[in-house]
Amino acid sequence: MTPIQCKMARVATGLTVRKLGEITGLAFSTINRYEKTGRANISTVNKMIEALEAAGVEFIPENGGGVGVRLRK
C-alpha cells in the first residue's frame, strides 16, 4: 500500500486518521506521517492494510494505469 492509497482508502470508507488509529492501535501521528512521507515500519503498514481491507477496501496495484483503491461489492 502506498501512502496515497492509504489516504484514498480512508476517504472511501469514511475513516478519519483518528478512527483508523483507534481501530489499529496506532497513534494518529504515525498514520499522518505515513500518508505524508511514506515512512513506517512494515508491521505498521500491515495493520493499516488489514483494517482498511476489513472496512471493504481492495487495493489495486500498479498495472500501467497507476495504483488505486476500490470498495468491494
pLDDT at 66: 86
pTM of the model: 0.91
- Count: domains in the chain: 1
Return averaged pLDDT per consecutive 10 residues of the chain, 73 residues in all. 96 96 97 97 98 96 85 89
Domain extent, residue 10, equals 3-71
What CATH number should be reported for the domain holding residue 10?
Answer: 1.10.260.40
pLDDT at 29: 96
Q: Which residues of 43-60 are buried (b: 16+ CB within 10 A; e: fewer)?
A: ebbebbbebbeebebebe
Helix (H) or strand (E) holding 30: helix 28-37
